[in-house]
Structure 1
C-alpha cells in the first residue's frame, strides 16, 4: 500500500484541501516541502546558536525527529519537529556547565516526555480531557502564537522595508491569489524578500563564502547532572502542552478528531528530543510556524513534511547550504512570522469557539486570562540561576492551575 494516495490527478485546484494521507504530484509536494523548510529554518538555527549547541547537529536531529514523528503518528498528524524555544532559557543558564551537561538535561526531558506520552496513550482520551480540556489546549495554542509574536516584531523592526515587502507578498497571494500563487504564498514572499535583501546588499554572506560544501555534523555525548536536569524539567510541561495544542490545532484545521493521536505525538516528540540530546542537538518541539503555513495553504499532506525532514537531514551534512539558509535577512523572517504567528493564535481561538468554551465561567476566564497575559507580556522570573520566560509561566499557569481550581470548585459545591 502506498504511503499517500494521490489527490485527484496529482494537481491542485482552488478550494481544494489536501488531507494528511494525500499528496499531489511530487514536484508540487517538493515545493510545499521547501515552503515548510523556509518557515522552520529561522528558529532551528536561532535556538542552538543562542545556547551554544552546534547548528548542523540540531538540524540533523530535527530532520530525523520529523521523520520519526510522521512514522509514529502513522501519517495522521502533519508536523515539523524543530529546535524548541522552551529549551533556550535552561540551556543558556547551564551553558557554563559545558555541552555534555546541557545535553544530559535534554535527554532527561525527552525520556520524561516519552513516559508521559505512554501514559496518555495507555489511559486514553479520558486522561487528556481531564487534564487538558479545550479551554486549556486552546489557551496553549493562542499562547504559543502570541508569546512568539515579539520575535516577529523585533525582526520586523530591524529591516522594515524587507519585512513589509515579504508580508505584503504573502497577504496579497494568500488573500487574492489563485492556484499556485495562493498555495505558495509564504515561499514566494520569503523568496522575494530574500532577493530584495540581496539587491540592497543587506545579506551577510561572510560565513557562506568560507563554508565547505560537505562536512559531518558535530556530535557530542550527554552527561547527566542533577543541577542541570532540574533546570530543564519545567520544559517537559511546556512540550506536552505544545504537543496537545498542536494536535488540537491540526484537528481544527482538518476537521478531524485526532485525540487518539495525542499519545503518539507526545511519544514521538520525547523520542526526538532524547535522540537529539544523545547526539548533540537542542530539544525539539512541533512548530507553530508550520501550522501557520498549513492554515494559509490548506495543504496538510504529511508527504510535504517528509520532504522537509529528509531535506533538513541532508542539509545538515552541507555547511555551505546551512550557511546559505542563515543568510535569510531578519526582516524577511519578521514579515513572514508576523502573519504565521498571528494565524496560529487564531487557530487557538477556533478551538475555543468550536468547543463552545464558556468564557463566563470564572475558572476559564481568570486562569486563561492570567496565562495569556503572562505569555504575551513575556513574564520573566528567576529561579536560582535560571530565568524562565512567558511561554513557560503561561503554560504552567493554565495546565496546572485550571484542573486544580476546577477540582477545588467541585469539592466546594459537593
Structure 2
C-alpha cells in the first residue's frame, strides 16, 4: 500500500501537468468526430466482461434485475405516461431495492446454504460478515498506511495506468456531455477536467485508497437512462458520498448488495455510453470508404489487441512484451490492455495521416461541425454550459 501510494502521488502530478498545462488541450484540438467514435464506444463496450458474465454468476437475481430496470426505464413510461416518467427517473433505485429484498428473502430462506462457495459469494446478502465487522464511524486520514515509498518501476507503471485513465475519462466526459445536451466540449475545458482528475488521484493517493481516480462510466450511462442532465444532481450526490463515507455501517450495507444486481445495471449503463459514441457517426460521412476503414479498423483493433494481451497474461503469467526492463513490460501491458486506449491511438493516427491531401477529408471526418467549438469564446453556448454550473439545470425532452 505504501508503494502504491508513492506511485500514485507521482502519477497524479503527470495527470495534472498534461491537464492544467494544456498538453491534453493540444491533443484534443486535433480530434474529429470520426476519431472520437472508437474511444467513446469502447469506453462502454470494453467493459462487457463486467456485464452479463458477472450477472450470470447468480442468474436468479441478476436476470430479474435486468428485466426490471429495462421495463421501468423503457416500457413503463410509454404505458403510464406522466406517472411512468417519475418511475423511469428512479428505475435504478426501484430495481435495486426490489431485487435486493428478493435476494435477502432467498438468503434467509436457506436457498444457498448447500451451494458451492462461488455461488454463495455471488448470491448471498450476508457474506463475510460485512455489516457486523464494519465500525459505525471511521474517519479517513492522510497516509493511514504509513509514509509512502517510491520506486521508479512502480511509478512508470502507475503513470501508464494514469494515461489509460485519462483516455477513458475523456471518453466518459464526452459521452456525459452528449447526454447532458451540452455543446461539444472545448479542448481547454476537457484539458482542465483532466487536470482536476489528477487532483482526485492526488487525494486518493494521500488517503490510501489503493486506486486512482477516473470519470465514472456508470454515471455517464445514468445520464442517458434517467435523462436528467443537471449538474446540481451530481453536486448533491457528491455531498452524500462524502457524508456517508465516514459511516462504516452504511458502506458495508451497500457492499452487501450482490454483485449480479450491479452487473444487471452495468448491462444498461455501459450500453448507453457505447451508444453515445456511435451517436457521433451522424457528423461523419458514412459513404466514404476512408471513414469506413478508419472506423472498422480502430474498433476491431481496440477489441482484438487487448484480448491478445489479456489472454497471453492469463496463460503465460506474463505479458507478450517481456524485455529485461520490468517497468517497460508493465507499461506495455497496461496500455495495450485498454480497448479505449488502443482504439484512440489507431483512430487518431489514421485520421491525421490517411488521405490527408484529399479535399473531402476534413468534411468526411466531421471536423467542420466542431470547428467553432475549438476555442471557448467562439460560441456563446459554450459559456452557458461550461461557465455557469450553478445556473445550469437542463433536462432532456419528455418521452
TM-score with structure 1 setting the length:
0.68
Q: Does 2:115 match 1:187?
A: no
Distance 1:233 1:390 in 2: 10
Residue of structure 2 equivalent to 1:340: 269
Residue of structure 1 equivalent to 2:66: 167
Structure 1 unaligned regions, length at least 5: 1-98
Distance 1:313 1:356 in 2: 46
Distance 1:359 1:343 in 2: 26
Structure 1 residues 215-294: aligned runs within 5 Å? 215-217=138-140, 219-220=142-143, 221-260=147-186, 261-281=189-209, 282-294=211-223
Distance 2:171 2:242 in 1: 26
Structure 2 unaligned regions, length at least 5: 77-83, 108-123, 314-318, 360-399
What is the Cα deviation at residue 286 of structure 1?
0.6
Q: Which structure has the larger Rg over C-alpha atoms?
A: 2
Q: Could you say if the C-alpha distance between residues 347 and 378 of structure 1 is closer, same or farther in structure 2, counting changes exceeding 3 Å? A: farther
Q: Could you say if the C-alpha distance between residues 375 and 227 of structure 1 is closer, same or farther in structure 2, counting changes exceeding 3 Å? A: closer
Distance 1:311 1:115 in 2: 30
Distance 1:389 1:289 in 2: 22
Distance 2:104 2:259 in 1: 13
Retained in 1: the 8 A contact 2:169–2:216? no
Q: 1:129 aligns with which of 15, 29, 40?
A: 29
Q: Could you say if the C-alpha distance between residues 310 and 355 of structure 1 is closer, same or farther in structure 2, counting changes exceeding 3 Å? A: farther
SS of the residue 1:179 aligns to = helix
Deviations 1:201-228 (A, max 9, x none): 1212512023221122264243321010
SS of the residue 1:259 aligns to = coil
SS of the residue 2:125 aligns to = coil
How many residues get paired? 313
Distance 2:307 2:204 in 1: 29
Structure 1 residues 351-362: aligned runs within 5 Å? 351-356=280-285, 360-361=289-290, 362=293
Q: Could you say if the C-alpha distance between residues 390 and 169 of structure 1 is closer, same or farther in structure 2, counting changes exceeding 3 Å? A: farther
What is the Cα deviation at residue 174 of structure 1?
0.6
What is the Cα deviation at residue 138 of structure 1?
2.1
Distance 1:153 1:377 in 2: 21
Query: In angstroms, what is the RMSD of aligned CA positions?
Result: 2.8
Q: 1:198 aligns with which of 104, 129, 132?
A: 104
What is the Cα deviation at residue 347 of structure 1?
1.1
SS of the residue 2:279 aligns to = helix
Retained in 1: the 8 A contact 2:41–2:275? yes
Q: Compare 384-393 and 231-240 and name the one that shifted more.
A: 384-393
Retained in 2: the 8 A contact 1:155–1:330? yes
Distance 1:117 1:325 in 2: 33
Q: 2:339 aligns with which of 382, 389, 394?
A: 394
